[in-house]
Structure 1
Amino acid sequence: MRKPPLTLEQLRVAVAEGEIDTVVLALVDMQGRLQGKRFHAPYFLEQVAGHGSEGCNYLLAVDVDMNTVDGYAMSSWERGYGDFAMVPDLTTLRRVPWQPGTAMVLADLEWLDGSGPVVASPRQILRRQLDRLAGHGLTAYAGTELEFVLYRDSYEAAWRRGYRDLTPANQYNVDYSLLGTARVEPLLRRIRTEMAGAGLTPESAKGECNLGQHEIAFRYDEAVSCADHHVIYKNGAKEIAAQEGMSITFMAKPNPREGNSCHIHFSVRDSERRSAMPGDGPAHLSPTGQRVVAGLLATMREFSLLFAPNVNSYKRYQPGSFAPTTVRRGTDNRTCALRLVGHGEGMRVENRVPGADVNPYLAIAALVAGAVHGLDQELQLGAECTGNAYDDARAERVPGTLRQALDLWRDSTVARDAFGDEVVAHYANQARVELAAFDTAVTDWELFRGFERL
């Protein structure tokens, strides 16, 4: 069992000594956001740590704006919008350095009637796929590389301006530039050090191509811990930026320049925690590694809804943008959807399809499900791409729209076998709601194009 960053006994001591007065109990919603409650720390210790709390079950049945929407089996006006139980996972208990006097713990969701976990909750979806992978004697490790664009405007100022004419933290491409990233190092340093104080393991920070774009990378870890750290970092980075009078966006495509990616590094390990990926086969993969990669490729289109969940997600997929457009794999080839990197124990596959708007639990669950599919079916690995995958006219395409991804997901036998009808229907409805909202919106593009001239 992993040692938590903060034990319950350490929390009791910190509360008694006046170091901690608030405990945040957080669940992960469909969009990968943290929702929950702040508790007075003594009350948390007395009542919540051992018994949990309640939260309205609409938290897994609303859109991005928290509007109640129809089509969800678990939650509706007809069902009365009841509660589910928020059960603290005390292995995730940690200090929150950017919020003085505060600790945080993530919650798993269960039904109040005792019937079990909420199967459509993101953490449960990932755990279910890991259980399936364990049937092959394997466990999954992952690392997410989140890019963001940083602006010198506060979130409130950006809202008032309609998110137009904002000032990026850098005025030119600072990809790998030490001079350019030094301009914002005080903020980057604060994020790194305070995430370390929360029990995460930062590795590095670097500039990226878009104006004001940066990336902070964290240690490769067990799949659930990787996803937990992802959502804590993403929420915390926004809070820290806000405290500094700045704003960060993790939108997949916030402007016409390079989008924000979330490359996910992925591998499987055996019961002794040794990598099961390397071997003497194609691309230096073992038979297990070959089947895993073949399964990821075979399921990528049908699972793309979990890699790219929003209308905006699909704006990234442009030739020459370092975001993939074809379902190909290649050794250290950044034009491919799957890039094989590392060697020996460090061998892994990098999925370059997700954007920074991804829900990490769902995306990693899709990778695990793809790996299990490849192992179950003993899939063979096809030829790799050694050139420009954007130019491969014979390759299957990464879905170009959310509507296409929804159709593939909803009609997928593999998705239903892996995730079950309830999960497929739940996240299909999320996409349907997103598309319905977008279809009724009038965009700036339409106004500028048609207000006078049409």
Structure 2
Amino acid sequence: MTPPNDRFLTLERLRRMIDEDDIDTVIMAFTDMQGRLQGKRLHGRYFLDVALESGTEGCNYLLAVDIDMNTVGGYAISSWERGYGDFEFVPDWATLRQLTHHPKTAMVQCDLVWLDHAPVLQSPRTVLKHQLERVAGRGLVALAGTELEFIAFDTSYEEAHDLGWRDLTPANQYNIDYSILGTSRVEPLLRDIRNHMYAAGLDVEGAKGECNLGQHEIGFLYADALTTADNHSVYKTAAKEIAAQRGQSITFMAKYNQREGNSCHIHLSLRGENGDVVFWEDGKRTPLYDQFIAGVLATLEDFTLLYAPNINSYKRFAAGSFAPTAVAWGLDNRSCAVRLVGHGKSARMENRLPGGDVNPYLALAAMLAGGLHGIENELPLEDALVGNAYESDKPHVPHTLRHARDRFAASDVARSAFGDEVVDHYVNMADVELAAFDAHVTDWELARTFERM
């Protein structure tokens, strides 16, 4: 596969850079269930002399742990009974890039295969690639862009830990949505992130302030869906690393406090293999576009688990919060879960359901699976919602992780699109989180009942 642009590295260029001591570290990484980059840092010479030919491996528990890296039960692919064996990292050389925020460091993103070279079906990147294969089977390609928000603090991660993640100092003290003055105060951090990400091959659009205190968004140009998911994972990790290098911290939590949460609006469109527009013709939406949107809406409740994967995700879904609650679509209507924008080549859907904690591979896979469900069954698209979706009589998306888990587990469409292995795997991920939360006594409970009950 050809790299997206000439800022990515070729293997030959990496070899020269290692030989000339311009690169001495190569990160081999994959994205785990929680959307985090995991992997190994290899010495450059070892990478060339050994790993390039022999590859590298990792314990298969990396797709069967909770967010604290605790081994947990219920996963078919990894357990004490199976011996916690290995899987192989298979580099996708089209993702090879230099990370300029680390000295002399390059990174390549990997797919995961078992030791017999069969793909690890539960790997998020594989889940998305399978849906992209279905799209390609129809002579189509998927283009996507993710709009990821974060909150920046002038408090280091270590200090935040010691403070119990409370009473942190936000990088701004008031709503700086679109404010040039407000973003100027945080520009050293924002500029570092933008420039390092450009050097890593991402096509940076710009940065803007958001509504919460210290909340910002850095936008990137759309690309094919797999490249967008790969870049999203690199950016999310690198932004945290760059903030940490400056003694700051940022969070992508869906809902950090009672103010606005962090969203990750996902824009998606289909094109023909030759770049032909398939969502727009003769000045209007095509039947294919309408069927695709109808399928996304029809599966929105069943697939919410892939858009909102954590307990905290559901705190965003509040009326009047710019986070959607209604299963509805509208023309440039931000109160709806699905917002249609653009025309001609720019015609696309925006999924407003995901938060900043989303796994981009799984969310894009869900959108494509839903859209294909609509195309395959020629689902009719209901009329656009006009007005305030929060006050409409439309059905609501699940408002708890448990509800979303049950919908996903029982979904015939999910099992048909993703397979039982994938569905059962991510249902168990939800079960693990629910059990951990149910066993925890929260600060809210202590404050509410310690004395008065």
TM range (shorter): over 0.9
Question: 1:50 offset after TM fit, Å?
Answer: 3.1
2:214 paired residue number: 212
Equivalent AA in structure 2 for residue 161 of structure 1: L
CA distance in 2, matches of 1:128, 1:198: 26
Give 1:256's aligned amino acid. Answer: Q
CA distance in structure 2 between the aligned counterparts of 1:51 and 1:260, rounded to whole angstroms: 41
Match of 1:405 in 2: 404
Residue 12 of structure 1, aligned match among 9, 15, 24: 15
> Which residue type is aligned with residue 346 of structure 1?
S
| Residue equivalent to 2:57 | 54
Paired position in structure 2 for 1:241: 243
1:398 alignment partner AA: V
SS of 2:65 mapped into structure 1: coil
Q: Is the 8 A contact 1:63 1:69 kept in 2?
A: yes
Find the residue that maps to 1:370 and give its secondary structure: helix
Q: Which runs of 4+ in 1 moved over 3 A?
A: none
Counting only pairs closer than 5 Å after superposition, residues 397-436 of structure 1 correspond to structure 2 as 397-436=396-435
Q: CA offset at residue 26 of structure 1?
A: 0.4
Give the structure 2 partner of residue 31 of structure 1.
Answer: 34
How many Å separate the matches in 2 of 1:372 and 1:279?
20
Q: Distance between the aligned counterparts of 1:444 and 1:75, measured in 2?
A: 34
Give TM-score, length-normalised by structure 2: 0.98
In structure 1, distance between residues paired with 2:366 and 2:54: 32
Q: State the Cα deviation string for residues 49-91 of structure 1 (Å, max 9, x = none).
A: 2332100000000000000000000000111100000111111
Equivalents in 2 of 1:153, 1:368: separation in Å? 39
Is the 1:49–1:88 Cα contact (8 Å) retained in structure 2? no
**1:88 and 2:87 aligned:** no
2: CA distance, partners of 1:90 / 1:375 = 33
Amino acid corresponding to residue 352 of structure 2 in structure 1 = R
In structure 2, distance between residues paired with 1:199 and 1:133: 25
Secondary structure class of the residue paired with 2:405: helix
The aligned residue for residue 296 of structure 1 is 296
Which residues of 2 match residues 123-272 of structure 1 at below 5 A? 123-272=125-274
> How far off is 1:280 after superposition?
5.1
What pairs up with 1:367-382 in 2 under 5 angstroms? 367-382=367-382
1:355 maps to 355
SS in 1 for 2:258: coil
Q: 1:66 aligns with which of 64, 69, 80?
A: 69
Q: CA deviation at 1:390?
A: 0.3
Q: Which amino acid aligns with 2:70?
A: N
2:42 alignment partner, SS class: strand
| Distance (whole Å) between structure 2 residues aligned to residue 370 and residue 139 of structure 1 | 15
Q: Which whole-Å CA distance do the structure 2 matches of 1:389 and 1:407 have between them?
A: 25
1:285 aligns with 2:288: no
1:133 and 1:372 in contact (8 A); partners too: yes
Quick one: distance in 2 between partners of 1:2 and 1:219? 18
CA contact under 8 A between 1:317 and 1:324: conserved in structure 2? yes
Mapped to 1, the partners of 2:66 and 2:401 lie a distance apart of: 15
Cα distance in 2 for partners of 1:285, 1:28 equals: 35
Q: Once structures 1 and 2 are overlaid, which stretch shifts more, 31-40 or 48-57?
A: 48-57
SS of equivalent to 1:301: coil
Q: One-letter code of the match for 2:350?
A: E
Return the offset for 1:197. Answer: 0.4
Deviation at 1:129, TM superposition (A): 0.5
Distance 1:160 1:170 in 2: 21
Q: Distance in 2 between matches of 1:167 and 1:213?
A: 12
| Mapped partners of 1:202, 1:92: distance in 2 | 17
Which stretches in structure 2 are left out of the alignment for 5+ residues? none
SS in 2 for 1:39: strand
Q: Matches of 1:349 and 1:217 in 2, distance apart? A: 17
For 1:315 and 1:410, how far apart are their aligned partners in 2? 22
Tell me which residue corresponds to 1:383.
Answer: 383
Query: C-alpha offsets along residues 353-390 of structure 1, whole Å, 9 cap, x if unaligned?
Result: 00000000000000110111011001111011110000
Q: Match of 1:312?
A: 312
Q: Which runs of 5+ in 1 are unaligned?
A: none
- 8 Å contact from structure 1 (residues 88, 106) kept in 2: yes
* Equivalent pair of 1:205/1:217 in contact (CA under 8 Å): yes
**TM-score, normalised to structure 1's length?**
0.98
Q: Distance in 1 between matches of 2:236 and 2:254?
A: 14
Q: Provide the rounded CA distance (Å) in 2 between the counterparts of 1:207 and 1:274.
A: 35
Secondary structure of the residue aligned to 2:128 is helix
The answer to whether residue 334 in structure 2 is matched with residue 334 in structure 1 is yes
Query: Aligned residue pairs: how many?
Result: 450
1:317-347 alpha-carbon deviations (Å, 9 max, x no partner): 0000000000100000000000001111011
SS of the residue corresponding to residue 109 of structure 1 reads strand
- 1:412 alignment partner AA: S
Secondary structure, aligned partner of 2:426: helix
Which shows bigger deviation, 90-99 or 48-57? Answer: 48-57
